Structure 1
Amino acid sequence: MDLIGNRTLCSVLRESAEQQPEKSFLHFEDQNGILFEKNYGDFFQEVLRFSNALLKLGIKKGDHVVLHLPNNMEFFTAWFALAEIGGIMVPTNILSPADEMKYMITHSEAVLVITEEAYIEKFVSIKCETPTIQNIIITRHQGKFEGVLNFNELIKNESVNNAHFPTVLSEDIVALLYTSGTTSKPKGVQLTHANYIFTGELMARTIALTPEDRTFIVLPLFHGNAQYYSTMTAIMVGASIAVTEKFSASRYFKQAKTLGGTVGSLFAAPIRMILAKDYDEDLRDNPLRLVLFAQAVAEHQLMQFEEQFDVKLLQLYGMTETVGIPLINPLFGKRKNMSIGRPSIGYEVQLVDEHGLPVRQGEVGQIAVKGIPGRTLMKGYFKNEQATNDTLKDNWLLTGDNARIDEEGYFYFVDRLKDMIKRSGENIAAHEVEGVLAKHPAVFEAAVIGIPDEMRDEAIKAYVILQAGATVSEEALIEHCRERLAKFKVPDRIEFMTDFPRTAVGKIQKHVLRNSYLMTKN
Structure 2
Amino acid sequence: MPDVEVVATLLGELKAAAKDSPDRTFAQVDDTEFSYRESFDLVTGAARGLSSLGIAPGDRVLLLLPNIPEALWSWLAVGAAGAIDVPVSEDAMGASLARTVAVALPRAVITTSALLGRLNDAGALGEVATSIKHVILVDPDATVDATTPYAKFGDLIHVDDAAAPLPSVRGSDMATVMFSSGSTGAPKGVMIAHEYYATMAGDYDPFYKLSGSKTVYCPQPLCHIDARIHVINVLARRGTIVIPRRFSATRFWTDVEAANAEMFSFIGAMLPILMKQPAGPRPATRRVGIGSSIPTAMHADFEFRFNTELIEGYGMTEFPAILNQSLGEGGPGNVGRPLAGAEVRIIDSSGMPLPQGSVGELVVRPTRRGAHMQGYWRNPEATVQAWQGLWFHTGDLLQELEDGSFRYIGRLKDSIRRRGENISAWEVERTALAHPGVLDAAAIGVPSPLGEEDVALVVIPRPDTNLDPAELRTQMSKDLPRFALPRFIDVVADLPKTPSHRVAKAELRARGLSVSVYDAEGRPA
Q: TM-score range by the shorter chain?
A: 0.7 to 0.9
Cα distance, 1:11 vs. partner? 0.9
Cα distance, 1:64 vs. partner? 0.4
Cα distance, 1:244 vs. partner? 0.1
Which range moves more in the overlay, 194-203 or 59-68?
194-203
Query: Taking structure 1 as reference, are residues 395 and 445 closer, same or farther at Cα in structure 2, changes over 3 Å only?
Result: closer
Kindly indicate whether residue 328 of structure 2 is the aligned counterpart of residue 328 of structure 1.
no
Alignment-derived partner of residue 154 in structure 1: 156
Cα distance, 1:28 vs. partner? 2.2
Query: Taking structure 1 as reference, are residues 211 and 159 closer, same or farther at Cα in structure 2, changes over 3 Å only?
Result: farther
Give me the whole-angstrom Cα distance separating, in 2, the residues matched to 1:28 and 1:73. 5
Query: Taking structure 1 as reference, are residues 225 and 406 closer, same or farther at Cα in structure 2, changes over 3 Å only?
Result: same
Give me the whole-angstrom Cα distance separating, in 1, the residues matched to 2:454 and 2:275. 22
Question: Do the aligned residues in 1 keep the contact of 2:397 with 2:408 (CA within 8 Å)?
Answer: yes
Kindly indicate whether residue 237 of structure 2 is the aligned counterpart of residue 264 of structure 1.
no
Matches within 5 A, 1:175-254: 175-181=176-182, 183-228=184-229, 230-254=230-254
Instruction: From 352, 358, 365, give the equivalent of 1:357.
Output: 352
Question: Do the aligned residues in 2 keep the contact of 1:114 with 1:136 (CA within 8 Å)?
Answer: yes
Question: Do the aligned residues in 2 keep the contact of 1:306 with 1:312 (CA within 8 Å)?
Answer: yes
Give me the whole-angstrom Cα distance separating, in 2, the residues matched to 1:259 and 1:145. 37
- Find the residue that maps to 1:189 and give its secondary structure: strand
Cα distance, 1:157 vs. partner? 4.3
Give me the whole-angstrom Cα distance separating, in 2, the residues matched to 1:449 and 1:176. 26
Alignment-derived partner of residue 141 in structure 1: 140
Give me the whole-angstrom Cα distance separating, in 2, the residues matched to 1:450 and 1:69. 28
- Find the residue that maps to 1:232 and give its secondary structure: helix
Percent identity for Structure 1 against Structure 2: 24
Kindly indicate whether residue 53 of structure 2 is the aligned counterpart of residue 57 of structure 1.
yes
Query: Taking structure 1 as reference, are residues 122 and 342 closer, same or farther at Cα in structure 2, changes over 3 Å only?
Result: same
Cα distance, 1:302 vs. partner? 1.1
- Find the residue that maps to 1:323 and give its secondary structure: strand
Alignment-derived partner of residue 391 in structure 1: 386
Count the aligned residue pairs.
Answer: 439
Cα distance, 1:239 vs. partner? 1.2
Give me the whole-angstrom Cα distance separating, in 2, the residues matched to 1:158 and 1:12. 25
Give me the whole-angstrom Cα distance separating, in 1, the residues matched to 2:481 and 2:314. 18
Which residue identity is paired with 2:101? I
Give me the whole-angstrom Cα distance separating, in 2, the residues matched to 1:160 and 1:17. 17
Kindly indicate whether residue 330 of structure 2 is the aligned counterpart of residue 343 of structure 1.
no
Query: Taking structure 1 as reference, are residues 418 and 309 closer, same or farther at Cα in structure 2, changes over 3 Å only?
Result: same
**Partner deviation per Cα, 1:326-350 (whole Å, 9 max, x = no partner):** 1111213x32332111112221111
Which range moves more in the overlay, 113-122 or 87-96?
113-122
Query: Taking structure 1 as reference, are residues 505 and 327 closer, same or farther at Cα in structure 2, changes over 3 Å only?
Result: farther
**Partner deviation per Cα, 1:164-184 (whole Å, 9 max, x = no partner):** x22110000000100124652
Cα distance, 1:205 vs. partner? 3.1
Query: Taking structure 1 as reference, are residues 258 and 46 closer, same or farther at Cα in structure 2, changes over 3 Å only?
Result: same
Give me the whole-angstrom Cα distance separating, in 1, the residues matched to 2:401 and 2:43. 47
Give me the whole-angstrom Cα distance separating, in 2, the residues matched to 1:5 and 1:310. 32
Alignment-derived partner of residue 401 in structure 1: 396
- Find the residue that maps to 1:418 and give its secondary structure: coil
Give me the whole-angstrom Cα distance separating, in 1, the residues matched to 2:332 and 2:236. 27
Cα distance, 1:154 vs. partner? 2.2
- Find the residue that maps to 1:89 and give its secondary structure: strand
Alignment-derived partner of residue 460 in structure 1: none
Alignment-derived partner of residue 88 in structure 1: 84
Which residue identity is paired with 1:9? L
Kindly indicate whether residue 256 of structure 2 is the aligned counterpart of residue 295 of structure 1.
no
Cα distance, 1:159 vs. partner? 4.2
Cα distance, 1:140 vs. partner? 3.4
Give me the whole-angstrom Cα distance separating, in 2, the residues matched to 1:298 and 1:154. 48
Question: Do the aligned residues in 2 keep the contact of 1:50 with 1:154 (CA within 8 Å)?
Answer: yes
Give me the whole-angstrom Cα distance separating, in 2, the residues matched to 1:294 and 1:166. 37
Give me the whole-angstrom Cα distance separating, in 1, the residues matched to 2:190 and 2:251. 33
Alignment-derived partner of residue 502 in structure 2: none
Alignment-derived partner of residue 169 in structure 2: 168
Question: Do the aligned residues in 2 keep the contact of 1:171 with 1:374 (CA within 8 Å)?
Answer: no
- Find the residue that maps to 1:141 and give its secondary structure: coil
Give me the whole-angstrom Cα distance separating, in 1, the residues matched to 2:41 and 2:455. 51
Which residue identity is paired with 1:199? M
Query: Taking structure 1 as reference, are residues 373 and 19 closer, same or farther at Cα in structure 2, changes over 3 Å only?
Result: closer
- Find the residue that maps to 2:157 and give its secondary structure: helix
Query: Taking structure 1 as reference, are residues 4 and 204 closer, same or farther at Cα in structure 2, changes over 3 Å only?
Result: closer
Question: Do the aligned residues in 2 keep the contact of 1:220 with 1:505 (CA within 8 Å)?
Answer: no
Query: Taking structure 1 as reference, are residues 342 and 243 closer, same or farther at Cα in structure 2, changes over 3 Å only?
Result: same
**Partner deviation per Cα, 1:49-104 (whole Å, 9 max, x = no partner):** 11111011110000000000000111111111111121101000111113222111
Question: Do the aligned residues in 2 keep the contact of 1:63 with 1:110 (CA within 8 Å)?
Answer: yes
Query: Taking structure 1 as reference, are residues 185 and 450 closer, same or farther at Cα in structure 2, changes over 3 Å only?
Result: closer
Query: Taking structure 1 as reference, are residues 104 and 408 closer, same or farther at Cα in structure 2, changes over 3 Å only?
Result: same
Question: Do the aligned residues in 2 keep the contact of 1:198 with 1:376 (CA within 8 Å)?
Answer: yes
Give me the whole-angstrom Cα distance separating, in 2, the residues matched to 1:6 and 1:156. 27
Cα distance, 1:407 vs. partner? 1.1
Alignment-derived partner of residue 107 in structure 2: 111
Alignment-derived partner of residue 278 in structure 1: 278
- Find the residue that maps to 2:320 and give its secondary structure: coil
The gaps in structure 1 that reach 5 residues or longer are 30-34, 421-429, 453-502
Which residue identity is paired with 1:22? D
TM normalised by structure 1 equals: 0.78
Alignment-derived partner of residue 501 in structure 2: none
Matches within 5 A, 1:487-498: none
Instruction: From 34, 37, 50, give the equivalent of 2:33.
Output: 37
Alignment-derived partner of residue 14 in structure 2: 13
- Find the residue that maps to 1:318 and give its secondary structure: strand
Query: Taking structure 1 as reference, are residues 394 and 169 closer, same or farther at Cα in structure 2, changes over 3 Å only?
Result: farther
Give me the whole-angstrom Cα distance separating, in 1, the residues matched to 2:63 and 2:202. 25
Query: Taking structure 1 as reference, are residues 167 and 397 closer, same or farther at Cα in structure 2, changes over 3 Å only?
Result: same
Query: Taking structure 1 as reference, are residues 408 and 162 closer, same or farther at Cα in structure 2, changes over 3 Å only?
Result: farther
Which range moves more in the overlay, 97-106 or 150-159?
150-159
Question: Do the aligned residues in 1 keep the contact of 2:213 with 2:237 (CA within 8 Å)?
Answer: no
Give me the whole-angstrom Cα distance separating, in 1, the residues matched to 2:490 and 2:376. 32
Question: What RMSD, in angstroms, separates the aligned Cα atoms of the two structures?
Answer: 2.9
Question: Do the aligned residues in 2 keep the contact of 1:330 with 1:341 (CA within 8 Å)?
Answer: yes
- Find the residue that maps to 2:67 and give its secondary structure: coil
Query: Taking structure 1 as reference, are residues 447 and 91 closer, same or farther at Cα in structure 2, changes over 3 Å only?
Result: closer
Matches within 5 A, 1:439-458: 447=453
Point out which structure has higher relative CO (alpha carbons under 8 A, 6+ apart). Answer: 2
Cα distance, 1:409 vs. partner? 1.2
Alignment-derived partner of residue 521 in structure 2: none
Question: Do the aligned residues in 2 keep the contact of 1:4 with 1:194 (CA within 8 Å)?
Answer: no
Give me the whole-angstrom Cα distance separating, in 2, the residues matched to 1:355 and 1:47. 48
Q: Which runs of 4+ in 1 moved over 4 A?
A: 1-6, 443-452, 503-506, 511-514, 518-522
Give me the whole-angstrom Cα distance separating, in 2, the residues matched to 1:520 and 1:41. 63
- Find the residue that maps to 2:395 and give its secondary structure: strand
**Partner deviation per Cα, 1:226-257 (whole Å, 9 max, x = no partner):** 012x1111111111111100100121111111
Query: Taking structure 1 as reference, are residues 409 and 372 closer, same or farther at Cα in structure 2, changes over 3 Å only?
Result: closer
Instruction: From 365, 369, 373, give the equivalent of 1:370.
Output: 365
Question: Do the aligned residues in 1 keep the contact of 2:345 with 2:364 (CA within 8 Å)?
Answer: yes
Alignment-derived partner of residue 32 in structure 1: none
Which residue identity is paired with 2:178? L
Query: Taking structure 1 as reference, are residues 153 and 5 closer, same or farther at Cα in structure 2, changes over 3 Å only?
Result: closer
Question: Do the aligned residues in 2 keep the contact of 1:48 with 1:162 (CA within 8 Å)?
Answer: no
Cα distance, 1:361 vs. partner? 2.1
Give me the whole-angstrom Cα distance separating, in 2, the residues matched to 1:312 and 1:162. 47
